[in-house]
A and B are shown apart, each in its own frame.
Chain A
Amino acid sequence: MKDDIIVTKDLSKTYFLGKIKVPALKPTSISIKRGDYIAIVGPSGSGKSTFMNLLGCLDPPTTGNLLIEGTDVSKLNENQLARIRREKIGFIFQKYNLIPTLNARDNIALAMSFSGKKLKMRIDRAENLLDLVGLSNRMNHKPSELSGGEQQRVAIARALSNEPKIILADEPTGNVDTKAGDKIMSILEDINSKGETIIVVTHDPDIAKRASRNLHIHDGEVTEADY
C-alpha cells in the first residue's frame, strides 16, 4: 500500500477584499498517495490556483492543516516553507517563469544553488536533466531564444533539479500548441511512471483524462470526479 504524501485536513483559504470575505477554498480534506497522477480541473476563478498555492507551500492556509510527508507545514515560518518548497516540491508554471537573463542550463543550476550544492555538480546535473527533456542542444540558449514548449521543458528540468517528491504543474500546456503540449505531458507521465507524484492543474479535459485521479473544483469546493 502506498503511503499518503499529501494530506489536507479542513484546509481552507479566505481572502479579504476590504471587509468582504472571499472564500477561495472551502474546508477541504483529501489525501494524495505517493506516485499519484492527479489532475485538478475547474473553470477559471474556481479556486484552482489557490489550492495549488496552498499545496505548493507558497501561501499559508487560513484554517486547517496541510501535511507533506507527515510534516504539518501550516504552522511553519517563511524560511521553513522555503526549505520545504526546495526539498519536496517542484513547480511548473503556465508562463514557464524562467529567469530571462540566464541560459537554460544556468536556470536549472540556479534552482540547485539554494540547496548549497557545488557548482560542478549543479552544472552536471543541469546538463543531465536537459538531456532528459530532450534539450541538450539548447543548453546555452536564453529563454527568449526558445519556443514556448522548449521553455516549459526547461522549467520541467528545473522543477526536477532538487529531486522533489511532488511536481506541481499549473496549466503546463496552457501556453503551447497541442503537439508541444503532448510532448510536455508525456515527459511528465514518464516522470510519474518512475514514482514521482504529479499534480496538474488544467481546464483541458483531454489532459485531465490522462491522469489517474481527477479533483474538481467549483466555487472553492473540491470534489472527487470520475470519467
Chain B
Amino acid sequence: MAIISLMGIGEGMQQAITGELSSLSDTIVLSSGEITANAFGGGGFEHADGEEYLTERDISDIQRINGVKDISTVLFSYGIVTFNGKSNSVSLVGIDENNMESIFGIGVLGLEKGEFIKEGKQNTCVIGYNVAYEYFDTDIRLGNRIDLNGRSFAVVGIYKKQGAGMSTETDDNIHITPRDFEKITGQSKSSSAIIRIYDVTKADSIADEIEQAVNENHGTDDFANAITMSSIIESIQQILSIVQVVLLSIASIALVVASIGIMNTMLTSVMERTREIGIMKAIGATNKDVLLIFIMEGVLISIIGGAIGIALGVLGSRGLSTVLTGSFGGGGLTPVITSYSIMLGLAVALIVGMLSSLYPARKAAKMSPIEAVRYE
C-alpha cells in the first residue's frame, strides 16, 4: 500500500509539474541583439540600436519553418506608471492578448487575482505582483485605474509573485496589448518573439533553424538568439527524480516492516502447526513438500495483502492528495497510478512474501516428525 500510494503521488507530482512545464517548453524565446536569457525579464532590457528589430520578413520566415505552431512578437519598453498622483518607472510588455494567457497563465506563473485581457479590449492591463503591492503606498486593486505614460488603464489582473530566477519573470512588469503599447510608446517594432512549436522534443533543432533564418535575413551571425525551455525542464525533472527516490526509500522502509510482519505471522503459524507438520511428514511429505506448502502460504498471504494494499493505495493516494491540495492550495495534484506501479507493487509483494516466508518454511521443513507428532 505504501509503495502504491507513494509511487502514485510521486508519479502524479512529476506529471503535474512536468505537465505544467511542458506547456512552457513548447515555447522558444527569440530575441535579437545583445538580449539573452533575460529577454522577458523585468528591467534588464535595453535596446540600443534601432536596426535590430525583427522584421516582417523574419516573422514570415519563422512561420514557414516546419514544426512551428505560431509566433507572436513581444514588445518591450520602459514606461512611467502613475497611481494616486505618485509615479514610478516600470517595464512595459506588449504581447498579444491570446498569447498572454497561454504563456503567462500556466503553472508556476499565472494570476493571483482577476483575469487576462479580453480580446479586443482596450486600455486594460495586467500588472506584476511588485507593481501592485510594492511600488506605491497603497496597494493597487483590481478595477483601479493607473496611468501608463499619461494614458489611463484599468487593472484587470494581478500576477502571482514569481520571485527571481524564472526567465518569464513578471513581478515588475505591466502587460498590455501591442495596440495599446504602440499608442503609448509609439513603438511597433519588436526585438523579441515567442514561438510555439508542436513537438517539444524538436525544440532545440527548431531553435537552431530559427536563429539561422533570422541571421540570414540580417546578414550577420549573431543577430538572433533563440532559447528553449528544455534545459530548465531537464534540471527540474532531475530534482523530481530525487524526490521520487526519497519517496521510494520511505516506501522501502515500510516494506521491511511489512516483511518482518509476514515473517512473524509465518513463524507463529509454523509454531502453531508443529503437530500438523509432523503428521504431514510422517505420512510421507518430504522437506520440499513442507517448504513449498509454507512458501505458498506466505506468497498467498502477501498477494492478498498486496491486492488489498493496491486498492487502499489507490484510494489512499487520492484521499491524501485531495487533503493536501486542499490545505496547501495550488494546482490539483492528481496521483498517477500506472499499471507499471501496480505490477511493481504486486511483484514486490510476491517477492517479499516469498523471501520472508523462506525462513519460517525452512524451519518447518527441518522439523523432525517424531518431535512434531509428540508436541502437544
Chain A interface residues toward B at CB < 8 A: 53, 56, 58-59, 78-79, 82-83, 85-87, 90-91, 93, 97-100, 110-111, 114-115, 158-159, 162
Q: Which of B87-126 contact A (CB under 8 A)?
A: none
Q: In the complex, what residues of B have CB within 8 A of residue A98's CB?
A: 279
Can you name 8 extra interface pairs (CB under 8 A) apart from A91-B282, A115-B284? Answer: A58-B282, A58-B368, A78-B286, A82-B286, A83-B284, A85-B282, A110-B280, A111-B284
Residues of B within 8 A of A97 (CB): 275, 278-279, 282, 373
Distance of A82 Cα from B282 Cα, bound (Å): 8
Query: How many residue pairs at the A-B interface have CB separations less than 8 Å?
Result: 60
What bracket does the count of chain B residues touching chain A fall in? Answer: 10 to 19
List chain B positions with a Cβ less than 8 A from chain A.
275-276, 278-289, 368-370, 373
Tell me if A114 and B285 are in contact (CB < 8 A): yes
**Can you list 21 A-B contacts (CB < 8 A)?**
A58-B282, A58-B368, A79-B286, A82-B281, A82-B284, A82-B285, A82-B286, A82-B289, A85-B283, A85-B284, A86-B284, A86-B285, A93-B282, A99-B280, A111-B283, A111-B284, A114-B280, A114-B285, A114-B289, A115-B284, A159-B283
Check A93 against B373 for contact (C-beta < 8 Å): yes
A82-B370 contact given A56-B282, A91-B282, CB 8 Å threshold: no
Chain A residue contacts of B276, Cβ below 8 A: 99-100
A90 to B282 alpha-carbon distance, docked (Å): 9
The CA of A59 and the CA of B281, in the complex, are separated in Å by 12
**Out of B275, B278, B287, B373, which one reaches A82, CB within 8 Å?**
B287
* Distance between Cα atoms of A85 and B280 in the complex (Å): 11
- A91 and B283 in contact (CB under 8 A), knowing A53-B370, A59-B370, A99-B276? yes
In the complex, which residues of chain A have a beta carbon less than 8 angstroms from the beta carbon of B368? 58-59
CB-contact partner of A83 in B279, B283, B286, B369, under 8 A: B286
Min Cβ gap A174→B in Å is: 14
B196: min CB distance to chain A, Å = 66
- Residue among B278, B279, B281, B373 with the most chain A CB within 10 A? B279
CB distance from A96 to the nearest CB of B (A): 9
Rounded to whole angstroms, the CA-CA distance of A54 and B369 in the bound complex is 12
* Nearest 4 interchain pairs by C-beta: A86-B284, A82-B286, A97-B279, A111-B283
| A78 vs B281: C-alpha distance when bound (angstroms) | 10
Most B CB within 10 A of own CB, among A58, A110, A111, A115: A58
Q: When the two chains form their complex, are residues A86 and B369 in contact, meaning their CB atoms are under 8 A apart?
A: no
Chain B residues with CB under 8 Å of A59's CB are: 368, 370
Which one of B279, B283, B285, B287 has the highest number of Cβ atoms from chain A below 10 Å of its Cβ?
B283
